Structure 1
Amino acid sequence: MKQLVMHIDMDAFYASIEQRDHEEYRGKPVIVGGLSGRGVVCTASYEARKFGVHSAMSMAEAKRRCPQGIFLSCNHAYYESVSREIFQVFHEFAPVVEPLSLDEAFLDVSGMEMLVQDWRVYAEKLKKRIVDELGLVASVGLAPNKFLAKLASDMEKPDGLTIIEEQDIERVLNDLPITSLWGVGKKTAQQLYDLGFVKVGQIAKADGAFLAKHIGNLAYQLVNLANGRDERSVEGTPKSQSIGNEVTFAHDLTTHEQITEKFLALAEKVGSRLRREGFAARTISIKIRLASFQTLTRSLTLVEATNFDEDLYQIAVELYEKCKVAEKIRLLGITASNLTIHEQPILFAENNKKKELYHAVDAIRTRFGNHMITKAKLLKNRD
């Protein structure tokens, strides 16, 4: 099976979060980092980069270059919470996700060709999910390996999407500077310059043994990369076992009735999947994203596990009402976790009847589709 890798890099991550959350920062140079005398820049918005400000620069130098900038300290805990939400989206688009940092990851999409007819459309769909749900922009690269995928994601920043196919590799790499190769820092670059190597295409044609005499065994890696070869696999972290569903609405929800109806639809989907996969859940969580992009989460852990739709719905509504939300809502979600691989305990005759009812409902949906049977409350809003 041929490897196919997607690299995703959130554009100016910390600064973009601050601009998203503070309308007055938008379109202005925002610099996030340590504000002390010896602090360094963590992230600079693209507006700040026009003044030559970049990450790892001293904050003093950033202030000299861009005195009109908006200088903010890092809110690491908050940025981490946003990162977790982004990675939830990544896990929905690929079976294996390798985090590189809070704002960057490799996704292994090898073997998904039967599910994906157009990779550009698929990548655009992922980018749109991140924009719609989190109000943030990502650049994506898709290529036959990790090196090329990361290279591709850098080519059209910000908000870029670049696909490198097998037949494009030589053309794409030939004229790039040797510093584009992983492992080529200032010292190695100078050694290569001294040998007459300036472009990646020159390294591709070089003899590895000759280079190794001058720069060591790194030479063989560089020759491979220069020819577009990278055998490293995407090393994923297992996704925590949970079953959930969430939806971003085309129009923000404003009424209690709208919100409870959406929770009912979500509960149906989560409950149906729990039963189909043979699970019951002890912990039920909800996610609420407000129009301002603030995200609220609440959860409840039960004594006995459940996979009944009505239990999920009632818990979700109770958790929502405790939040006392006064703002419009753009996203709702229900997640079932702390899963048990057994059926719900049948302690009472009433529960036996519920079990039989859900079994019949699930059988109808499996045979005829989810649309064939649903709660009457949800029918009036269907087209």
Structure 2
Amino acid sequence: MGEQRVRAILHVDMDAFFVSVELLSRPELVGREVIVGHPGERSVVLSASYECRAKGVKSAMPMSQAVRLAPKATVIEPTHGLYYSYSARIMEIFYEVTPLVEQLSVDEAFLDVTGSMRRLGPPEAIGEMIRSRLRAELGLPASVGIATNKFVAKVASTRAKPDGMLVIRPEQTLDYLHTLPVKALWGVGAKTAEVLREMGISTVAQLAHTPESTLKKRLGATGTHLYGLAWGRDDREIETEREEKSIGAEETFAVDIHDSEIIKREILRLAHRVATRLREADKEATTVALKLRYEDFSTLSRSRTLPSPSNAAGVLAAAAEGLLEKLGTRPMAVRLVGIRVEKLRNAGLGMQLSIDPQDDNWRQAEVAMDLIRSRFPTGALRPASLLGPGHNERAQGHKE
């Protein structure tokens, strides 16, 4: 892989990212069972330390189940602004290595370092350098997988965890892949795994030696896709510009809510979180959507187009509240509320100025809040309207 003509792809994945960031200010919890998430029974696990994972705790698992599996775990409520701040610093390090970075989420990315080897050495040296910088400059562990394509690099990083690096060289690729269970292939979920099991296929090697026509007959295009992966084929390029088509946030309440004022206050809080992410991405939203899930789990969504694109929380909240009011009397209590903004565009393109000076005042105030949070990311700065009696932040975090 040290030859310039061989493509070198790195998949860098931070280890238990939310937990690792929280432990920077809680060193006494290092090596102990830690869960990041809200303590309510209807909340879910956002991240778990490897000590918890050893007991079966996983991300997105109901908190009630996680606590039963790891009753001695320390539960830490998430600090989303802090995670995005560290994510930005992580990506800065990646971009210093190569401009060919494909960010997948707040804590992982693909890097094509083929063109960086002349300057920085072989991919193994680049991978170790990245891991060393992340540890030295940010105090965070990361796992790195290195291969000639994205799929195999992702497989490698998964098996390098925690805090390791695995290189799968071109000549090793098939031998390595064919030792793995079929679930290691992208696209093999529970239903596909069941079909393959009925076909007597449980390993990548068995799938690779099944005729492609047979797989296609049973699984359609998915069969063809899996056959190619089983032979290590993945010629996708790094996507350096992954335009977010939407940004959203939602909350599952600890108890079902009838009170419209509580729902509106939650809408405002979610609008501030979404607006902050819009400004961080230098985007404005054209459409705002409101999501409600009732106590019987029925879900509805409504959306409206804004008079002009915006990334101000007040504008987003007003639109969402208007959608809520338009629904009229709700048939039952609300279990979940969410906001999503869509049809994003670059900020500042032909901005239509409002004749209401309050609109610009709010926009300036929110930008000032962004600046303060960037300097003091662990602070509790928020609008006064969200500091009502008994208010308790319980939003569920998502890599949306």
TM-score normalized with structure 1 length:
0.60
- Does residue 148 in structure 1 map to residue 152 in structure 2? yes
- Correspondence for 1:232 among 220, 233, 236: 236
Query: Tell me, what secondary structure is at the counterpart of 1:154?
Result: helix
**CA distance in 2: counterparts of 1:16 and 1:216, whole angstroms:** 41
* Count of residue pairs the alignment pairs up: 239
Q: Report the counterpart of residue 33 of structure 2 in structure 1.
A: 29
What is the aligned partner in structure 2 of residue 306 from structure 1?
A: none
- State how far apart, in whole Å, the 1-side matches of 2:39 and 2:131 are: 32
Question: Is 2:176 the partner of 1:188?
Answer: no
* Greater Cα radius of gyration, structure 1 or 2: 1
- Greater RCO (Cα-Cα under 8 Å, separation 6 or more): 2
Map 1:262-281 onto structure 2 (within 5 A): none
1:168 aligns with 2:172: yes
One-letter amino acid matched to 2:85: S
Whether contact under 8 Å (1:181, 1:226) holds in the other structure is yes
SS, match of residue 46 in structure 2 = strand
Q: Distance in 2 between matches of 1:26 and 1:140?
A: 22
Aligned to 1:3: 7
Match of 1:47 among 51, 60, 64: 51
| 2:239 maps to amino acid | E
Structure 2 stretches of 5 or more lacking a match? 243-374, 376-400
Two-structure CA RMSD over aligned residues (Å): 1.5
CA distance in 2, matches of 1:65, 1:97: 37
Alignment of 1:327-342 (within 5 A): none
Q: CA deviation at 1:178?
A: 0.4
- Which residue of 75, 80, 96 maps to 1:71? 75
Distance of aligned partners of 1:82 and 1:113 in 2 relative to their CA distance in 1, 3 Å threshold: closer
Give the 4+ runs in structure 1 shifted more than 3 A: none
> Does the 8 A contact of 1:2 with 1:111 survive in 2?
no
* Displacement after TM superposition at 1:132 (Å): 0.5
Could you say which residue in structure 2 is the equivalent of 1:120?
124
Rounded to whole Å, the distance in 1 between the matches of 2:37 and 2:210 is: 42
Displacement of 1:110 = 2.3
Task: State how far apart, in whole Å, the 1-side matches of 2:36 and 2:121 are.
Answer: 40
Q: How far off is 1:70 after superposition? A: 0.5
Report the counterpart of residue 218 of structure 1 in structure 2: 222
State the 1:118 CA deviation: 2.8
Q: What's the TM-score, normalizing by structure 2?
A: 0.58
Cα distance between partner residues in 1 of 2:116 and 2:143? 21
Equivalent residue number for residue 158 of structure 1: 162
Query: 2:209 maps to which residue?
Result: 205
Contact 2:215/2:227 (CA < 8 Å) preserved in 1? no
Once residues 194 and 116 of structure 1 are traced to their aligned partners in structure 2, the CA distance between those partners, rounded to angstroms, is 48
Counterpart position of 1:58: 62
Equivalent residue, structure 1, for 2:97: 93
Following the alignment from structure 1 to structure 2, what is the Cα–Cα distance between the partners of residues 2 and 222? 24
Q: Show structure 1 runs of 5+ residues with no match.
A: 239-322, 324-383
**Displacement after TM superposition at 1:2 (Å):** 4.0
The one-letter amino acid of 2:126's match is Y
One-letter code aligned to 1:168 = Q
Identity %: 42
Give, in whole Å, the separation in 1 of the partners of 2:116 and 2:139.
Answer: 27
Equivalent residue number for residue 350 of structure 1: none
